[in-house]
Structure 1
Amino acid sequence: MASISATILCMIFFFSIITSTFSASVVEDLANLQPPPDFNSTITTNCLRNPSLRYCNSSPAALNEIFKSTIVASHLCNESKNPNCVESFPKIDLGSRPKITPLYLSFTFFWKFCPLTILSIDLSNNSIKGSFPVDVLHCTQIQALDLSHNGLSGDVPIHSFSPLTNLTRLNLSYNHFSESKISETEFFKRFDASSFLHSGLLPDRNKFTIRAVFLLVCFPISVIVMVGCFGWLCFRRPDLLPRAFGRQNKFTPPMLKAATGGFSRKNLVGKSEGVDIYRGVLRDGSEARIEIYWDDDISRESRQRFVEECKVLAQLRHKNIVRVLGWCNGRRLRAIVTEWMEAKNVEIWLLGSSPPWKHRLKILMGVVEGVCYLQEEWPQVGYDLRTASLMLSDDLEPLISRFKVADQSSSTRKIYKFGVFLLELIVNRMSSDELESGEQGFIDHIRVHYPGNIRKLIDEKMKVTENSIDRVRQIIGIGLMCTDQSSNHQLHLGQICDMIIRAYESWDVLESPTHKRSHGDRGKGHKDIQS
């Protein structure tokens, strides 16, 4: 301060007398005061005496800032309790002064023209928030800087410290700076760890310990728990996993339990000894028929054979074959899961309605197509063609729903069973039931009346025109050939399919509008025959 002229010193002394409250008066005074007339010449004189002063290289426009800085310097010198502010300004001591410290930090112009006599800055214990106060680093000649016990955060401007070549004491402890490699910077190697205690700049040993504990203990436990949960999902509820992790066609007891509402009685649609049939809703929202076999004493070989059979059935794809969605091979239960059909079987359909010949022939065609598919693609798969086991969809598509893999039935036996089904579909079986002679009696009864008394054989619920009676007789004849086990000439399944397809196609031609008109011209008055 010795370089400031007597005029400036008198002015500073004047302001120190008239300001009773520092913070309010300084701000008000700085806003209203202007430099005295000879202030410029005083600055010039000072710079001639000491060219190293920071304001010596400033432009004339900075004259007002230089004047304000001298005012703030006087007040700050007094607030810092320097012994002789007129002659010396060795330190800025605002430790534990939280009410006025932010005000001085806001005077950017003061730090820009920081007096060269200042060697120590103490701004500790002031709860200063925000980023590092970079302006204080303009005092490059300082030897000590204390910013400890504040709430500073963010990055420390490491490169801005480089000009502070005289700095020997630094305290940034107890702040919240971002962690950085400050200890690896050449400038900061001159300070020990006590300068950065709990500042966030150095790795925290407690954090390191916590991380080490987490890595050595918590992380392995977390991995084990995650693997355990994933394993549980894989083996118990794979349907909860993304499709890529799921096991196709494989169901588990918990999956079936969830699908049936805990094997709820309201979802039980059928029951017999050792077998329960449920209607269930799978994870994807689709409905399914779940046929459960409760058995505790089944051998391992039987279970393996069951799985192998189900793997084959799950590959069947045909519109006249019920789709097998999967299976379950649990310890206490086995199950086959198929698509759910809002349908009834052919036997109930024949008894409960009056299906015409056209609908019966359509069902027969569907069965033929399904049987041919199995014979050509999966000859090892046997099937049940009883009217009680064949299902019907809403649009009268027959669905074969009973299978047996590695079926030992001969081709002759399969053709025989197909013939019986064909006859049951067309012929009224009630008359043969009265004989109480079973399946063979039913076939013998047909042979007695075929072909002469065909009307007695036709189901009384089936309406057949005079034009189609020959087609019905032809179909019954095919059924009798299939059931004739005494014949040396056994039909092949392919031959049977061709014969039925030709009969179906010829019936379509017969029932076409053009064909009806031609018959009407030949002989009017043809009528339906009901036997």
Structure 2
Amino acid sequence: MNILCSFSGCFSPAEQLNHDEPEGENAEAFRVFSSNELKSATRGFHHSEKVGEGGFGSVYKGRLRDGTMVAVKVLSIELESMRGEKEFIAELTTLSHVRHQNLLRLLGCCVEGTRRYLVFEYMENNSVLTTFLSTEPNRTKFSWETRRNVTIGVARGLVYLHEEVKPRIVHRDIKAGNILLDANLTPKVSDFGLAKLLRDENSYISTRVAGTLGYLAPEYNSSRLVTRKSDVYSFGVLLLEIVSGRVVVDAYQDTERFLVEKAWTAYEADNLLPMVDPALNMNFDSEEAIRFLKVGLLCVQETAKLRPTMPEVVEMLSTRMNMDDARISKPGFVPDLREVMNRQEQTNLSPESSPSYAATSSLWSSANIGR
């Protein structure tokens, strides 16, 4: 059964991925589950099994009959407006064909009447948001080596999306809450509800702003232009967060300044080392940490064409490249978060058109920006 065919009324064939099926051990069959099977796995979607909640539904952990642990994403569909249905189709068509060790694997789905479920591999260690960016006692468990490996893993996942699949994929919502961690702390990029396929290899013009404030590239916020460099910007913000242990915008203190702005100020003062998470207790290679921060700043430069590609990012992070002579220009960011959020609250926007839409649609974490 070709599950994609059952949604022919929701999207055109041109929106389906068009590359070879994966081979070898990753070529596991995409399963179509019954709602009864998923209900049994999650103990009737019991509240104690809930691991996350977002704008389009909840996520429950469950155990299949063969013992496999899974995460079941239950979408809330409003048939009148098709809210949620579009995200379901986007995530399904994207993830049913992509396979990479740093991308969350979609195991299958269930479509029965108005019920919509996505079934993913289960991630034991939640997300970067709830680990690396949590309270300091918890952050001390994550060494510099772990942070390095997570960062490079995410970068490699983006290289796969940007360069290795056809058509190219722009994720559009790279953020800490969408980077999940398995039992070995291997990072998995998740939540493809906003992903776009770049068939002209260059860009896509979005009629709506979609993404998360703090991670949005400035050109996307102003002109709706989506390119691979938009993801590079978001990755740069994530990199700065992982190294510093700080969220991009803290809703409870210093609300007028983004982490990007703080990092830029430290760079201009030639004083980047204090930006490294104090929870590491100086147990890290200072030269490498500063290089990572500089790579992050290269990624968030205001001019998109000056940002590196993701393959270049992987090279800079993986090798002891000398960054002393790197030319880093001023970063770009939304200058007034409060104004944007107030304007958003005063305007009746659909979820996708809201700049902070994805802040509540993360697969696992229900935390908003700054939490």
Aligned to 1:353: 139
Aligned to 2:110: 328
**C-alpha distance in 2 between matches for 1:271 and 1:305:** 15
Q: TM-score, normalised by structure 2?
A: 0.61
1:220-254 deviations in Å (ceiling 9; x for gaps) = xxxxxxxxxxxxxxx9xxxxxxxxxxx84222323
| Change in 2 beyond 3 A, CA 1:305/1:298 | farther
Q: Percent of counterpart pairs with the same letter?
A: 25
**C-alpha distance in 2 between matches for 1:363 and 1:504:** 19
Verify: 1:341 aligned to 2:123, yes or no. yes
Amino acid at match of 1:387: A
1:56-108 deviations in Å (ceiling 9; x for gaps) = xxxxxxxxxxxxxxxxxxxxxxxxxxxxxxxxxxxxxxxxxxxxxxxxxxxxx
Amino acid at match of 1:402: D
Structure 1, 403-412 or 454-463: larger mean CA deviation: 403-412
**C-alpha distance in 2 between matches for 1:421 and 1:258:** 37
Aligned to 2:40: 258
Amino acid at match of 1:406: K
Amino acid at match of 1:353: R
Verify: 1:316 aligned to 2:131, yes or no. no
Q: Give the CA deviation at 1:436.
A: 0.5
Q: Is the 8 A contact 2:61 2:122 kept in 1?
A: yes
SS at match of 2:229: helix
**C-alpha distance in 1 between matches for 2:163 and 2:190:** 18
1:396-426 deviations in Å (ceiling 9; x for gaps) = 2111122134255312211100100011111
SS at match of 1:472: helix
Q: Give the CA deviation at 1:344.
A: 2.4
Cα root mean square deviation, aligned: 3.2
Aligned to 1:217: none
Aligned residues: 258
Amino acid at match of 1:411: R
Ranked by relative contact order (alpha carbons within 8 Å, sequence separation 6 or more), the top structure is 2
**C-alpha distance in 2 between matches for 1:255 and 1:448:** 54
SS at match of 2:303: coil
Aligned to 1:386, which of 170, 175, 187?
175
Q: Is the 8 A contact 1:420 1:479 kept in 2?
A: yes
**C-alpha distance in 2 between matches for 1:369 and 1:449:** 28
**C-alpha distance in 2 between matches for 1:429 and 1:303:** 34
Aligned to 2:158: 371
Q: Give the CA deviation at 1:345.
A: 1.4
* Consecutive aligned runs of 4 or more in structure 1 exceeding 6 Å deviation: 299-302
**C-alpha distance in 2 between matches for 1:382 and 1:360:** 22
Q: Give the CA deviation at 1:489.
A: 2.8
**C-alpha distance in 2 between matches for 1:384 and 1:345:** 14
Q: Is the 8 A contact 2:264 2:297 kept in 1?
A: yes
Aligned to 2:279: 461
The unaligned stretches of length 5 or more in structure 1 are 1-234, 236-246, 506-531
1:423-459 deviations in Å (ceiling 9; x for gaps) = 1111253797432025xx3211111111622232111
Verify: 1:418 aligned to 2:242, yes or no. no
| Change in 2 beyond 3 A, CA 1:472/1:308 | closer
Aligned to 1:502: 319
Aligned to 2:364: none
| Change in 2 beyond 3 A, CA 1:446/1:340 | same
Q: Which has the higher helix share?
A: 1
1:99-155 deviations in Å (ceiling 9; x for gaps) = xxxxxxxxxxxxxxxxxxxxxxxxxxxxxxxxxxxxxxxxxxxxxxxxxxxxxxxxx
Verify: 1:279 aligned to 2:66, yes or no. no
Verify: 1:403 aligned to 2:185, yes or no. no
Q: TM-score, normalised by structure 1?
A: 0.44
